[in-house]
């Protein structure tokens, strides 16, 4: 039983399906979500596939293996995996059914001095020391790679060629189609919202849904993003995350989408990170915008008019960084999303001592890690053998 059909839950369900066998025979897999697949934090993710700022070293290596898992899936899928392939629509993020999802091309990050440049130098040096592709390029080369950008002549530009982005809706749709093709039972919508995890004799026996259905299960995997603490608590387990509604919390993120007019100038084609704005291309020519300093201005209760005002500030910054593109663009979306953020920034993955058969998978950088975590967790659940790669991330490190 997988609870939560965001990118982590769908990736895990797709891995658990396909004829895997547990100790008692073929594994019957259910995927439940009280909303629509990929409609929560997954839909609001920047979806940057990277190991750019992941520390310590073991977490960096987990993210690198996540990047490789994405590249492997793209190779296995073929040209249809690439964004814009497969007849995708042009109206919104992710496109229509059948759209590709993968956007290669790396990431550009720059700074012009001060603490920002010092930090970037340290990042590049660390990544190179760890064998990660990171290089300094001249400003004219950056402008060649991304003609939409305005970059000051004094900037120092770092290029990370192996990084990528994904469009979340077609990616989750692909994983969900794979899961269904492998026999996974998928239930979504309010009636499928999990309201209880039944336990008896110290182990999981099943889950109850808001629509009245009880689904027997000997394993319940909580993949509910920032709601995971509440879901795990239904079986008496403790999963700590940075609270999204606390003043000054790092979990809430402000984001906006720009929709440029046709012929507005060269499109953005890859992830770009300036000191004041992060941006990436989306389907239909849209552009995702986020700024780390503005995240400090929002929480789960920020009024809509304040969110709109901050989104206008993102648009103003985009006019400076992407002048031709952003000047002829309108704000198509502005929202605050809550990221699932463990207190030590590292994933929480594993079984809970409170109830046999209860397992949680919750992490920041879920888009990068989804495929690799799906593979590792499915292996643990189907074989009973623990993956050494997951040893640093067990929930027991937070036992009170």
Q: What is the pLDDT of residues 165-184, one digit of tens each?
A: 999 999 999 999 999 999 99
- What per-residue confidence (pLDDT) applies to 92? 37
pLDDT (average), residues 129-151: 97
Residue 300's pLDDT band (cuts 50, 70, 90): confident
| Residue in the structure block whose two tokens are 């239904």 | 234
Residue 290 above 90 pLDDT?
yes
- What per-residue confidence (pLDDT) applies to 352? 97
**Which residues make Cβ contacts (< 8 Å) with residue 164, sequence separation at least 6?**
49, 50, 67, 70, 102, 103, 104, 105, 106, 271
Residue 96 above 70 pLDDT?
no
pLDDT (average), residues 372-379: 98
pLDDT (average), residues 296-312: 93
Residue 87 above 50 pLDDT?
no
- Asked whether the beta carbons of 67 and 368 are under 8 A apart, the reply is yes
- Asked whether the beta carbons of 343 and 241 are under 8 A apart, the reply is yes
Beta strands 271-273 and 107-111 are parallel
- Asked whether the beta carbons of 291 and 254 are under 8 A apart, the reply is yes
**Which residues make Cβ contacts (< 8 Å) with residue 215, sequence separation at least 6?**
1, 30, 32, 206, 207, 208, 209
- What per-residue confidence (pLDDT) applies to 249? 82
- Asked whether the beta carbons of 340 and 349 are under 8 A apart, the reply is no
Residue 97's pLDDT band (cuts 50, 70, 90): very low
Q: Which residue has the higher pLDDT, 152 or 22?
A: 152
Dump pLDDT digits (tens) for 113-124: 999 999 999 999
Alpha carbon separation from 361 to 219, 282, 356 (Å, rounded) = 13, 27, 15
Q: What mean pLDDT, rounded, does the chain reach?
A: 93
Residue 140's pLDDT band (cuts 50, 70, 90): very high
Residue 90 above 50 pLDDT?
no
pLDDT (average), residues 352-378: 97
The rounded percent of the chain whose pLDDT value lies above 90 is: 88
- What per-residue confidence (pLDDT) applies to 88? 37
pLDDT (average), residues 303-329: 95
Residue 399's pLDDT band (cuts 50, 70, 90): confident
- What per-residue confidence (pLDDT) applies to 248? 74
pLDDT (average), residues 195-203: 96
Q: Name the least confident of 67-76, 260-269, 322-331, 388-397.
A: 260-269
Alpha carbon separation from 175 to 67, 312, 367 (Å, rounded) = 16, 34, 12
The rounded percent of the chain whose pLDDT value lies above 70 is: 94
């Amino acid at each position: 039983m997988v609870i939560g059909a965001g990118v982590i839950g769908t990736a895990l369900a797709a891995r658990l399906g396909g004829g895997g066998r547990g100790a008692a025979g073929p594994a019957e897999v259910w995927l439940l979500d009280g909303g629509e697949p990929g409609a929560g934090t997954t839909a609001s993710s920047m979806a940057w596939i990277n190991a750019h700022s992941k520390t310590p070293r073991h977490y960096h290596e987990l993210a690198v293996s996540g990047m490789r898992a994405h590249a492997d899936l793209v190779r296995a899928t073929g040209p249809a995996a690439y964004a814009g392939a497969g007849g995708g629509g042009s109206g919104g993020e992710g496109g229509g059914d059948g759209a590709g999802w993968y956007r290669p091309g790396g990431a550009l990050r720059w700074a012009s001095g001060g603490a920002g440049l010092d930090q970037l130098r340290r990042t590049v040096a660390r990544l190179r020391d760890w064998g990660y592709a990171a290089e300094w390029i001249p400003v004219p080369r950056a402008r060649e790679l991304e003609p939409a950008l305005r970059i000051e002549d004094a900037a120092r530009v770092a290029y990370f060629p192996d990084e990528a982005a994904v469009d979340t809706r077609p990616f989750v749709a692909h994983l969900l189609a794979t899961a269904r093709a492998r026999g996974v039972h998928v239930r979504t919508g309010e009636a499928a919202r999990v309201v209880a995890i039944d336990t008896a004799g110290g182990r999981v026996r099943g889950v109850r849904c808001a629509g009245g259905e009880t689904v027997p299960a000997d394993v319940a995997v909580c993949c509910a993003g920032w709601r995971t603490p509440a879901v795990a608590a239904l079986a008496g387990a403790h999963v700590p995350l940075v609270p999204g509604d606390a003043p000054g919390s790092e979990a809430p993120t402000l984001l906006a989408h720009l929709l440029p007019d046709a012929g507005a100038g060269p499109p953005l084609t890859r992830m770009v990170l300036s000191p004041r704005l992060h941006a990436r291309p989306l389907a239909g020519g849209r552009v995702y915008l986020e700024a780390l300093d503005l995240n400090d201005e929002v929480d789960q209760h920020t009024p809509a008019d304040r969110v709109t005002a901050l989104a206008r500030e993102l648009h103003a910054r985009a006019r400076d960084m992407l002048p031709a593109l952003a000047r002829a663009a309108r704000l198509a979306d502005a929202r605050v999303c809550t990221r699932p953020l463990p207190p030590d920034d590292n994933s929480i993955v594993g079984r809970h001592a409170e109830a046999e058969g209860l397992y949680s998978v919750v992490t920041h950088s879920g888009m990068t890690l989804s495929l690799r975590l799906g593979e590792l967790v499915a292996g643990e659940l189907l074989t009973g053998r623990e993956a050494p790669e997951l040893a640093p991330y067990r929930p027991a490190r937070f036992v009170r």
